[in-house]
Structure 1
Amino acid sequence: MRHWKIDTVLQLLKDAGGIALAASADPGIELKSDQTVVTRADRAIEQMFADRFDRPSEGSFMIGEESVATKPESYLDDAFRSLCYVIDPIDGTAPYSAHVPLWGVSIGRMENGALTEGAIYMPIDDEALFTCRGELFSARALQSGAPVVEPFQPRHMALTPAGHICIPQQGAKRWRFDLPNQVFAWSTCVGCYYALLKGRILAYILSCKLWDLAGGLPIARAAGFVNRFADGRELDLAITASGNFHLEPGPMRWRLKAPVVAAPDRETAEYVWSHIRQE
């Protein structure tokens, strides 16, 4: 797919969500070599995306969570030098497999190693958020076949001790938090970005891989939200040039080099960072 067309993206999200919803009663759970969960639905959705995006002869490449390990280095080099779609077929496979409605579908469009567009879809809520040429949109009722598309106005939760904060599994297992706010480890980047942009949580701490955030990060950036490292740097959309990801072969490949706090503003991000003790 050479061009980011709203109708096409929404149809792909609808189809992906439909596959996941149809398989949710018996998803077929397996453990991958890294001890994370995968289901038949993950693989079926990724194959559907590959049929559309993985077309090197047409100058279109795909980095997907379930298939990237099969790609040769030459393919990945070409993907980062041209047009590439970064896919997470079900972000939040653990909650999906446990019938917890905190999972979604993620599509990130990357050109010359930088994210340019993003889309996330929450099939249970049946709502997608996405960018298009610098503008923000939402689309509701995708499964009906006649989605309602309109400009999206993000909501900012006020900075108070009542605001909930989502944390990564790494944080739940190894960090200390000396703040009064409730914290949740939802195991879904898409679900957390969605909740943040809808004003349902105060902040989200990311410690994830490229495909987890590829759909949500462009939306958060377009919405004016900050995505800050502990040293105050901003996580921008440049993937290859920034040096913020492990892109070289090895066990850490595709992962952020350091955690990031996504929040409505700098004050909130600094508040969160000031109350974290990483161990």
Structure 2
Amino acid sequence: MKDWDIKKLCEILEDCGKIALRHYECPAYEFKKDHSVVTVADVEIEQYLSSVLSSPEDSTFMIGEESSDSLPEDYIRAALRGTTWIVDPIDGTAPYSNRIPVWGTSIALARNGIIEEGAIYIPILKELIISSGPDIFYTDSFDGTASSLRKFHFTPFEFDAKGIISISQLLSKKGEVNMPNTVQAISSCVYSFTSMALGRYAAYVVKAKIWDIAAGWAILSKLGFSSITESGEALPLSLSGPFAEGPTRWAMPEHAVIAYGQETVNNVIKSLRFQ
């Protein structure tokens, strides 16, 4: 599949949700080398996504969380230059495996190394948010088709001590947030990104891998959100640099703060202490 087709993607995301829900009550799981959880649903959904999205013979590739380690180098090089789907079959696997309903599936599309589009589906909440060119569409009553989608506009609000900040597991365990705001470390990028768009969260402090952030950051970027990393740079929508090279390939090398307004991200990043 080469093109970003909202109607078709809604059908694909619905299929992903059905697979996840079929295993939801008691998913078989195991632990990866980094001690994170992977379930049978993660693997099954990624295999399904590969079957409907990836077509290397047509220069259409896929990078997914569960298969990234097995990709040959020539495939990766071609993917970084071509039309590439970036997927997380179940983002928030820890909540999923404990039946906490903040998990979901994310799909992003990159062309020529630049992430252009994103979609997030959270099945238990029936929330779907998806980009199409400059526009964003959203529903909280997803019925498996694009007919339930409505054009979405973000409503800016003032950042103050009432706003909740979503933070990474790493920051929650080894860092410090010197602000009066409530913080949550829920282990779900899809829920955090969707909640940023909906105004549930006022800021997001994230350190994750490309499949965790690709769809969500594509969406928030189109809504006008700002970002800043620990080193003072904006969070890129590019697959180049640390995402493409080195021993930590696909991983963000440092935390980033995402919020609406550059002044807010600057203030939040100054309040954080990282280890």
Give the TM bin, normalised by the shorter chain.
over 0.9
CA contact (8 A) 1:91 1:188 kept: yes
Match of 1:271 in 2: 267
Superposition TM-score, scaled by structure 1 size: 0.94
| Correspondences of 1:222-237 after superposition (within 5 Å) | 222-237=222-237
Aligned equivalent of 2:75: 75
Which structure 2 segments of 5+ residues have no match?
A: none
Residues 171 and 3 of structure 1: is their aligned pair in 2 closer, same or farther, counting only changes over 3 Å?
same
Q: How does 1:34-53 map to 2 (within 5 A)?
A: 34-53=34-53
Report the more deviating stretch, 43-52 or 131-140.
Answer: 131-140
Deviates more, 1:146-155 or 1:164-173: 146-155
Distance between the aligned counterparts of 2:167 and 2:66, measured in 1? Answer: 24
Aligned counterpart, 2:250:
254
Alignment map for 1:212-231 (pairs within 5 Å): 212-231=212-231
Q: CA deviation digits over 1:190-232, x for unaligned, max 9?
A: 1100111100011001100000011111100000001211343
1:89 aligns with 2:89: yes
Q: Which residue of 1 is the match for residue 104 of structure 2?
A: 104
Report what 1:183 is aligned to: 183
Aligned residues: 275
Instruction: Please tell me whether the aligned partners of residues 7 and 145 of structure 2 are also in contact (alpha carbons under 8 angstroms).
Output: no
Match of 2:239 in 1: 239
Question: What amino acid maps onto 1:247 in structure 2?
Answer: A
For structure 1, list consecutive stretches of 5 or more residues without a partner in the other structure: none
TM-superposed CA distance for 1:168, in Å, is 0.5
**1:154 maps to amino acid:** F
Letter in 1 for 2:42: D
Where in structure 1 do 4 or more consecutive aligned residues deviate above 6 Å? none
What TM-score, normalized to structure 2? 0.96
Q: Deviations over 1:247-270 (max 9, x none)?
A: 2252x2211111111101112111
Instruction: Describe the shift of the 1:232–1:2 C-alpha distance in structure 2 as closer, same or farther (beyond 3 A).
Output: same
Percent same amino acid among aligned pairs? 36
Q: 1:24 offset after TM fit, Å?
A: 0.6
Matched residue, 1:63: 63
